Amino acid sequence: MNEKFSLDHLRHSTQPVILDFSASWCIPCRALEGAVRRVEEEYQGRVQVNRIDVDEDPEIAKALGVYGIPTLVAVHDGKEIARRTGSMSTTALSGLFDAALTGIQPAASGPTPRSRLLRLAAGIFLLFAGFILFPSTWAFLLAGLGAVVLFTAVYDRCPVYRMVTARARDFLNRKSLNETRG
């Protein structure tokens, strides 16, 4: 896009838009860039992608509540439909582009708020039990189990986990595609 992006342009846009918030120094942003460009090519002419450098346009990021990068925001008829922060698979990216195109929010990923709260409570209890109530050789097992349960409550928000699983999914998809061809 040659002209400078503005929020007014976004509000009045009738074309589906993906806002790609990143920065030149951001390593996860650079890692995601190739996948975004591949998916962008698939949706060329149907979904407009606007890349916004948060260092150059901090007011746009602030106005839209972008506090972490990379963040992609799907906009349909001037309204935000979906938002994803961190690394993601090409399947998740395609879902975001579909959301911008159709105006239908993609299926939620990760635990529900109630499930997240229960997992946090159970994980804290197990950690507490492991370190305080039962100081024995089983304490490490309970504490480790508590840490795993805690992680299951927040795994979907962990950028390292998301980057690793996205890369693994893409690798396995390419591998299975190559096996079916050859």
Q: Which of 10, 18, 19, 26 is catalytic?
A: 26
Range of the structural domain that residue 159 is part of: 113-181
Unique residue bearing structure tokens 């925001």: 73
Q: Is 158 a catalytic residue?
A: no
Which of 69, 102, 135 delimits the end of a domain?
102
Phi, psi (deg, nearest 5) at residue 48: -90, 135
Once rounded to an integer, what is the mean pLDDT over residues 47-63? Answer: 92
Which of 102, 128, 162 terminates a domain? The answer is: 102
Q: Side chain identity at 145, as an amino acid letter?
A: L
Tell me, yes or no, whether 122 and 74 share the same domain.
Answer: no
Pairing of strands 71-76, 79-85: antiparallel
Beta strand ranges found along 60-112 (DSSP E): 71-76, 79-85
Q: Answer yes or no: pTM beyond 0.75.
A: no
Q: What is the pLDDT of residues 141-158, one digit of tens each?
A: 888 898 999 888 888 777
User: Residue 6 corresponds to which tokens in the numbers above?
Assistant: 């503005």
Number of domains in the chain: 2
Considering the domain architecture, whether residues 98 and 117 belong to the same structural domain is answered as no
Q: Are residues 90 and 118 in the same domain?
A: no
Which entry of 19, 29, 126, 149 is annotated as an active-site residue? 29
Is position 141 within any domain? yes
What are 112-145's pLDDT values in tens digits? Answer: 788 889 999 999 998 888 887 766 777 888 888 9
